[in-house]
Amino acid sequence: MCSYPTTSIQDVSKQAYTYIIVGGGTAGCILASRLSEDPKATVLLIERGPVVDSWSAKVPLLSSNFTDQKAPVYKWQSAPLPAVNGKTVTMVTGKALGGSSKINGLLYTRSTPGEYNAWQAAGRKGWSWRHVEPYFNKSETYEGHTSHRGTAGPWKTRNVDKIRFQPVASNIHVAPTLGIPLIFEDNDPTSSVVSCKHLDATIDSSGHRSATSDAFLPKSLVRARKNLYICTGTIASALDIQSQKVVGVYLESDKSDGSAQRFYASAEREVILCAGAISTPQLLLLSGVGPADHLLEHNIPLLKDLPGVGAHLQDHISVPVIYKVPVTDSIEVLMAKPFTAVSELLKYCFTGKGIFGTQVQQANIVLRSTLLDANSHVVVTDADSDLNSQDPANVPDIEIMLIPVNPTDRKFDGLSKSYGTFSYLCTVLRPKSTGSVRLASTNPREQPLCDLGTLSHNDDRIPLRKCLRLALALGRAVRKSGYPLEDLLVPATEEDGDLDAFINENLTTTYHYSSSCRMDEEARAGVVDDELRVHGISGPAYPRLVDMAALLAFPVIVKATRAAINIFFLVDWKRNTSTGAVNQFDTTTSLKTWMVKTAWILELLDNAYISFLFLWRLGTQSHLFNGEKIGRVDSEISKGSFTSKLKSLFWIASTNFVFPLIFGLCQIILLFRGKNILVAASVEMVNVYVSIISTVFATIWASTVSGKSNVLSSNSDNTKLHLETIKFRRGQEQGATYSHTEVGLQDDSSHTELGSMKKENWGGTIDLA
């Protein structure tokens, strides 16, 4: 089997790159694929982890077990959590090309439209559901039949084909008795915000995990794109920021101890950070961007005081309620019954189906906790209002994950091999609690200090208690339906005190880290703006020139179109005259053709554009005139060569655009009014003569121009005039043009809430955490 094409760290510094992407996780792989579609752009993707392309990494069930010692993950302990008696939780992030999409729970969850509409309402322009939905659809190929999903994207997704474990099926059956409707189509933007639903997963038609590295950066694509470079096993130790512009990235091998050689990658346009909610703020802090007092503690020179870097870290707060079930109804059957394990493995190898070919969590329950009454029943007073998924006020704040296994590392003594476990993982989706990411040292290899801030805001206990009560109510309903659930890890009672004690003892993480470089105004401790540009830091090129480059492409298109239309007109005229149709093809008739109308309109636009360009250049380049004003004869001009005089006269004559604009406008008005086409033709002729006369007058006028030879020269050569200087600079700017790129993104959590997004002009270093 051919190895995956990568670039060594030693070869990285041999050239500059249009884009450098730090972090080859979920978002980084998608960006590298999209940006490298432009063959003129060179893209470097830096990933600390290796390429993991083994068979087991493709098997959904096996690749989801990140507790395995060989799993491609980083693990470390969080800071103590004061709100839960100082306990710590295990932090886990992906360590491979593809990031967490290589090891997560395979769930593909877009969240409700109201979530994105809430962002828009909060001032985040361009982030409403209407704006982001097309990019969700563009990124995926959904294996199913629905008008709400994508059908031609690289990322393969599908809905669960069969509920494989009885306790999950039993909960789906009893949920409607608590007022929770069943929905079979996950991610339907028109469905109820209160639901028990079958979940979508990133699994392809062969039953393989569809990680972003496999979907967006397959071997064949990377080999074919000579402008794409992927460097694995590499740490980005710091950004090179000069004059508030990111111009490159310092790199080190992940295998070294920090004393090895340091390499450098230079960026021509943008450095894009996609290293996740933990490593992105760490890299910014190591580069001197962050809270001034924290950087001072580590003796890091301050380049930009940005207090929001590393602040507002959030995670979904979760507490499991666990029951004992027959082992055949849980994933533990694979460990308890070897014959079943072999049988299921063979089924997967031959068909891609079975337990090994599906995600662990096949269904969940989501709702707004304020809709629950004292008996944990959903009470809806106005369905059109309370269940509308588009309304920002209806975003669900609690979730119960239905999991046929013990999701914790806790061992239960006395549990025989004839029993397995089933869990309700009770989760707060919209916590108010926040934590932080801070440097433990200036060593980029050392994991930062992560304070998840779990339950630091006491309001988060209210929905969490309701979620636990709902789980217990579901358990009672399942028992009542005849299924044998037995208590294994449940609260003593449903009183607040007992529930809080249970929470403090059993609280865990869902590994859904976010918001450490959040999108908001700088004054509100935001890190990036609506275009995902870091406040106060820009890219190495000149971002405003992107707009000017797009603007300068316009006259080229107009002139080419005008030339084509003139050719068509002449061919048409020749055809008519050669066939003896001269009498019919008179001036009046010819002026009424679409070609003449179009040509005159384009002429008007062309003149208007050049007029604007001249005035803009005159305003922005006024220093070129050195304060000299027109109207006096200057001795040095008179002493200049005939060539320099001629160029000077041509420069001044070329600025006479007023009359062509006026007469061009008159031509259009007369032509479209259609009362006297010959008058329009006369105006056109006058326009031509006026242009000639204006050039003559400009020549006479130029004889009295005051100026110096160096005034009329460019920076590179004293014989070049202003016009040549402008053309030269226009060439530079046009060379900096790049085609706008649409980028579909997914965030690095196993429960994707930040789906896909549109990016057109990358204007600085960004964080997609």
Domains and CATH numbers, the chain: 166-198+317-330+359-428+456-506 (3.30.560.10), 544-735 (no CATH)
DSSP 503-520: HHHH-EE-S--B-TT-BS
Reported as type and span, the H/E element at residue 31 is helix 26-35
Q: Max alpha carbon distance in the chain (Å)?
A: 108
Task: Check residue 411 and give its pLDDT.
Answer: 86
Judged on CB neighbours under 10 Å (0-12, 13-18, 19+), 730 is middle
- Record the tokens describing residue 216, joined without a space: 């967006």
Task: Check residue 66 and give its pLDDT.
Answer: 82
Task: Check residue 471 and give its pLDDT.
Answer: 98
Q: pLDDT for 149-180, tens place per residue?
A: 999 999 999 998 789 999 999 999 999 999 99
The pTM score is 0.72
CA distances for 201 relative to 145, 160, 209, 405, angstroms: 15, 7, 9, 18
Q: Tell me the C-alpha distance between 134 and 547, whole Å.
A: 24
Task: Check residue 181 and give its pLDDT.
Answer: 95
Q: Are the C-beta atoms of residues 528 and 320 closer than 8 Å to each other?
A: no
Task: Check residue 36 and give its pLDDT.
Answer: 96
Task: Check residue 409 and give its pLDDT.
Answer: 86
Task: Check residue 416 and give its pLDDT.
Answer: 82
Task: Check residue 742 and give its pLDDT.
Answer: 29
Nearest by Cα to 664 from 601, 588, 598? 601
- Record the tokens describing residue 587, joined without a space: 């001036």
Task: Check residue 622 and give its pLDDT.
Answer: 42
Reported as type and span, the H/E element at residue 267 is strand 263-273
Q: Give 276's contacts (C-beta < 8 A, 6+ positions apart).
A: 23, 25, 93, 99, 100, 513, 748, 769
255-264 contact pairs (CB < 8 A, 24+): 257/445, 258/443, 258/444, 258/445, 262/237, 263/9, 263/10, 263/12, 263/13, 264/13, 264/240
Q: pLDDT for 333-366, tens place per residue?
A: 999 999 999 999 999 999 999 999 999 999 999 9
Torsion of CA 583, 587, 592, 595, to 10 degrees: 100
Q: Are the C-beta atoms of residues 262 and 251 closer than 8 Å to each other?
A: yes
Q: 19-33 in b/e burial notation, b at 16+ Cβ within 10 A? A: bbbbbbbbbbbbbbb
Task: Check residue 721 and give its pLDDT.
Answer: 27
129 backbone dihedrals φ, ψ, rounded to 5° = -60, -40
Spell out, as residue ranges, where the chain has pLDDT lower than 70. Answer: 1-2, 256-259, 539-769
Which DSSP symbol is given to 614? H
Which DSSP symbol is given to 289? E
